[in-house]
Structure 1
Amino acid sequence: MAFFSNYYMDVLDCIKSRRSIRKFENQLIPQEIIEEILECGRWAPSGVNFQPWKVFVVSDPNVKEKLAKCTKHSSLILNAPHTFAIFLDQTKQYHYTKHVQSIGAFFQTLLLALHAKGLGGVWLGEIYNQKDQVSDVFGINDPQLEFMGAIAFGKPAEQGKSSRKKVSEFVVWS
């Protein structure tokens, strides 16, 4: 797959071939590419189109080090050139569960956009257990901004591996 190219893969191939990447090249991604990824993210579905996300793009080594201390998977943040720290912005109230579902769609859209651009990422969920500590890293003391998770990302140093259940193992036809 081309890196930083205008090559776009078929959406079904993109969905089926995306894997979590846990090792990255030591190479910063140009801001224009990161902005393209975020542009895709803003098109993720959200309840009543509230788009309840706020994203901190972390590239500064000092901030990465502080953020890494918030998770037992610190090496993923430290070894990735960038991390998206994603917050739920609750300033517009609709329905909490729908907002959280929208954040999940936002995460997936960002991961697919990264993959389609020849990059890779990994969704860090365990870091949510230290959400107050993460908020402190960014100087957030507003209860309307709730940390939801992070995506460490960059140019893959190796391909991810995964297996999946058969459809028949999780679908019930009625």
Structure 2
Amino acid sequence: MTVGSLGGTLWLDIIEAVRTRRSIRKFKPRKVPRDVVSLILDLARWAPSAHNAQPWRCVVVDDEKVKERLATEMGKAWLSDLLKDGVSKDKAENIVRIESWERITKSPIVIIVCLTMEDMHRYPDRRRRKAEYLMAVQSVAAYIQNLLLLAHHYGLGACWVCAPLFCQKAVRRVLGLPREIEPQAMITMGYPDEKPSPPPRKELEEICSLNGFR
């Protein structure tokens, strides 16, 4: 690729991808080829990470039975929390059915993105251990953003769901994750069956200031 094309077409493609990516929650029943998913996961590896530790780990789920087990176990954990929060049983069960069961089972691809501290630095004090953990979380988030943009580039829709954080034991149990692999997020993915309008965004002046916080 020439310098000219790098400064032109490629960067315009990046800008377009960032501006037009949407959270897609409805998918066509069409299967996503495994080689396309593998390509997206492979390219996403080039995300930045603290110490270049690359602390992300992924489990791709495309088997219907595994998706059903995942939806069931995650749903049980959420239902328990909703009932503890005082939500009526009927309402709670309906929420779980729509937001957990249907969301997972109707997604052609479900990617559970996990975190490992294996190659992160180790410290004796709590302050630096916490900082190191947050650095790993930030690194995983960068990887996820790559996944979302790449999915969009290849004509797929995706949605970043943080539900695994609330039911890590359930996710571990279904997927057989070892203790050192921590579920962080769930990416649902498939061919879009909706075209959401652009969501509102804060103005630049609301989120950025120059030479000090204002």
Q: TM-score, normalised by structure 1?
A: 0.90
**Contact 1:89–1:146 (Cα < 8 Å) also in 2:** yes
Q: Which one has the bigger helix percentage?
A: 2
Count of residues in correspondence between the two structures? 166
Q: Which amino acid aligns with 2:183?
A: F
Q: Which one has the bigger strand percentage?
A: 1
In 2, Cα distance between equivalents of 1:78 and 1:118: 21
Structure 1: runs of 5+ lacking an equivalent: 1-7
Select the residue among 133, 147, 150 that pairs with 1:113.
Answer: 150
Is 1:134 aligned to 2:144, yes or no? no
1:16-95 aligned at under 5 Å gives the runs 16-69=19-72, 70-71=74-75, 72=96, 73-74=99-100, 75-94=102-121, 95=132
Is 1:166 aligned to 2:203, yes or no? yes
1:50-93 alpha-carbon deviations (Å, 9 max, x no partner): 11111111000111112223154222211110111111022223
1:93-108 aligned at under 5 Å gives the runs 93-94=120-121, 95-108=132-145
In 2, Cα distance between equivalents of 1:118 and 1:54: 24
Structure having the higher Rg = 2
Q: TM-score, normalised by structure 2?
A: 0.74
In 2, Cα distance between equivalents of 1:68 and 1:124: 13
Q: How many Å apart are 1:168 and its aligned residue?
A: 1.3
**Contact 2:164–2:183 (Cα < 8 Å) also in 1:** no
**Contact 1:22–1:160 (Cα < 8 Å) also in 2:** no
Q: Which amino acid aligns with 1:151?
A: I
Counterpart residue number, 2:4: none
Structure 2: runs of 5+ lacking an equivalent: 1-9, 76-95, 122-131
54-63 or 156-165, which moves further after superposition?
Answer: 156-165
| Identity value in percent | 34
**Contact 2:55–2:120 (Cα < 8 Å) also in 1:** no
1:22-61 alpha-carbon deviations (Å, 9 max, x no partner): 0000011111111110012111111111111111110001
1:104-130 alpha-carbon deviations (Å, 9 max, x no partner): 001110000000111010011133100
In 1, Cα distance between equivalents of 2:18 and 2:204: 15
Q: CA RMSD in A?
A: 1.4
Q: Which amino acid aligns with 1:78?
A: T
